Structure formats: C-alpha cells, structure tokens
Structure 1
Amino acid sequence: MAREKRIWLEKYGAMLGWLTLLMVLFSIVTVVSRNVFDVVWIPVQELALYCHAAALMLGMVYAWRHDKHVRVDVFYQGFSDNKKRWVNVIGLLFLALPMMVFIFLASLPYVTDAWARMEQSGETGGLPLVWLFKTLLLAMPLTLIGAFVVDVFKSLKAIKNNSGAS
C-alpha cells in the first residue's frame, strides 16, 4: 500500500513537472510572438500564468510530502527525533493548520463568487475558465490540511511507540 502511494505521489510530481514545462513553453511563445512578430496572444499569456499558479499551488503538497519545504533548522537540527516530532506536531496544530484554514475560509467567498458568475478573463480574447482556475485557492489549503493531519497522526504514533519502547 505504501509503495502504491509513493508511486502515485511520483506520478503527481511528474505531472507538475510537465505543467512547469508547459508554462515555460507558453512563456517562450509569448515573448517570441510579442518581440519578434509584434503579436500579442492573450490566451497563451494567460495559459502560462495558469500553469505557473497551478504548479505552485498544487506543488506545495508535493514539496511537503518530500520534506522539501522551508524549515528553520537553527535549533531543530540538534533535536532528538522525539523532540523534532513534538515540534512538528505543535507547529502543525498551532501554526500551519490554522493558517491553511484561514486561507481556505478567506478564499471561499472569492471562489464561490467566481463560480456563481462563471467568471471569465477580463482581457479581450482571454480564457473563459477563470472560475475554475480560482478553485486552486481552495485546493491548495485542502491538500495541505490533509497532509498536515496525516503527519500529526504519524508523529503522535511515533512518539507513542518511542515512549513505550523506553
């Protein structure tokens, strides 16, 4: 089961890589068309922006699962494994989870309004799926909340198992 989850996570990471490649290609097309041919393609420009935002917002949970997120290691690196687990639990419960809940709740009216209006690009010739794109503002905190909750339980289980072994 754990192997299947890792394979799924790596496929998710590969998809994010392809999304990033698309962003770069759309950006190149935008720059070349604008500077060489003096043509502005708003949909391609918006696609580059959407790919960038999607890779960033959906990539956060991937970075978290691979422990590649930003961490202040000044004191943490010298802590024992159990102390690190306690720091993680406290940090997740009192900092990370409340922040993700806040982002979700603060974004909810913005996203529901976009869905209610089926919001489209304000640019002439822009893409019609702005409402769908804004949903990333809810997907990011939800995926991170799920990852954080899993990590809290894993850390607490490891703390319990470690204290029982002593």
Structure 2
Amino acid sequence: MTSQGRRIAGCHLLLRGNRWMPIGVNKALGGKDRCSPEGAVISAYLSAVVEGDTIVGWLGNSAFSVQEVLPNGTLAPLDLTPARLALQAYDTDMEAGKAGIVGVSSLIAGRRIQEQNTGNLPSKLREAAFERATVQILDKIQGHPVVGVRLYDCFPVRR
C-alpha cells in the first residue's frame, strides 16, 4: 500500500475475443491487434482518480476506440469529426450569446462526443473493461508490476 495523495491512473486495454487484455500505454496498434481474425482493433484508455490505495472515480476522458484495418494492414484513422463540430458549436453558442440568444449547439456536440467515446460498444463490454482496469490499477498502486497502467501525481492548484 501507499501513502500517496491524489493521483491519476491511466490504463490501456485491448479487446481480444471477448476479454480485455492490458497493453503498454505507449503501444502503437496495428492490424495484428484485431479483436478477431477479420475484426476491427478495439482498445480502451480508461482514466481514474486515485486517492491513497482507492479508486474514487473515473474521468470523462476515458474512451474506447474502434478502428477498422485497411487492406495494407494499417488502421483507419480515428474520426475526429465530433471534436471539430464541438469546437465550432462552442463558437456558435458564444456568438448567439452575444446576441442574447441561448445556444444549444455545444450541448448537442457534447452528446456526440460522449457517444463516440463509447465506441458504440455494448454496455456489458464497456463495463468489463472498467472491471479489468480496476484490477490493473489496484495492483499497480499496491506495488505489483503491471502492464498498461501509468500513475500521474496531481499537484494542488495554487491561487
């Protein structure tokens, strides 16, 4: 166990069949990392807030990605359209606010980003990833050698 204060833990997982396997946080994924022989490459990067030796919550930047494998064995690029639309939506809402109008574009864009972050995976598969990440992170904070988890110290905000 550790007497560390608040930290952030990041856990990188790869789906193999119906099981989540830990992989190095900096591993570059490719065609050989498919979830099934003809399937896509499905991975998760889950971030948790850790206090001492306890996970106290999951961060909103936790996300799942599903990437098709191209004929040449490389992965199709991630679709960043929702992020681009979100940036435009915030600008649109700010302009609307200047005119005294309540803009909702950013709320809609936020929902699209949340949908994209799920990778459109079934909830049971996502829940299994969080369960696996929990085990990996708890093992890491207890001092065991663990693949796929990185701990980051949080520094207090100075005012």
* TM-score with structure 1 setting the length: 0.29
Larger Rg: 1
Higher strand share: 2
Higher helix share: 1
* TM-score with structure 2 setting the length: 0.30
